[in-house]
């Protein structure tokens, strides 16, 4: 999800990714559990990974990772009105740090391959586009 704080910074997470064998900076997110909607999963994942909730959720649509070979999809939400509700609620196997980064910082990290997961880059720019559209309304 593209979660924006009142000061304009974007909530990011940092975690080790075994496939890449490196720590990656990404947007918060995760898997939809059985019986959950995409929105409920996004709300749960935000709380678990960061301890934050939000007052406003806007669906930005769905993207596919690789529809030629895979069936999974990415549901993207713009989340604003962040409120810290408590500590992270991580699974035993999770080690996730979170931080707020300014939009230009994220763009620099993309250029330096520090924010390097393709689906998160696409989600970041789709979220950025949504902010522009919302501002121009």
Residue 21 near residue 110, CB atoms below 8 Å: no
Q: What is the pLDDT of residues 66-119, one digit of tens each?
A: 899 998 899 999 999 999 998 888 777 778 899 999 999 999 999 999 999 999
pLDDT of residue 88: 80
Average pLDDT over residues 119-128: 95
Check whether 137 has a pLDDT greater than 70: no
Higher pLDDT, 5 or 93: 5
Q: What is the pLDDT of residues 42-63, one digit of tens each?
A: 999 999 999 999 999 999 999 9
pLDDT of residue 95: 83
Domains by residue range for the chain, with CATH: 2-135 (3.90.79.10)
pLDDT of residue 122: 95
Higher pLDDT, 137 or 117: 117
pLDDT of residue 66: 87
> Across 1-137, where does the E strand assignment appear?
2-4, 10-17, 22-26, 52-64, 73-84, 97-101
Check whether 34 has a pLDDT greater than 70: yes
Number of H helices and number of E strands within the chain? 3, 6
């Amino acid at each position: 999800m593209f979660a924006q704080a009142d000061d304009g910074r974007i909530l990011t997470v940092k975690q080790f990714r075994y496939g890449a064998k490196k720590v990656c900076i990404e947007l918060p997110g995760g898997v939809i559990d059985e019986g959950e909607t995409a929105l409920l999963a996004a709300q749960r994942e935000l709380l678990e990974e960061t301890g934050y909730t939000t007052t406003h959720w806007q669906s930005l649509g769905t993207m596919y990772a690789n529809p030629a070979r895979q069936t999974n999809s990415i549901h993207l939400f713009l989340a604003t009105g962040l409120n810290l509700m408590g500590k992270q609620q991580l699974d035993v196997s999770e080690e996730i740090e979170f931080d707020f980064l300014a939009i230009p910082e994220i763009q620099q990290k993309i250029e330096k391959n520090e924010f390097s997961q393709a689906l998160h880059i696409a989600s970041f720019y789709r979220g950025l586009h949504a902010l522009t559209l919302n501002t121009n309304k």
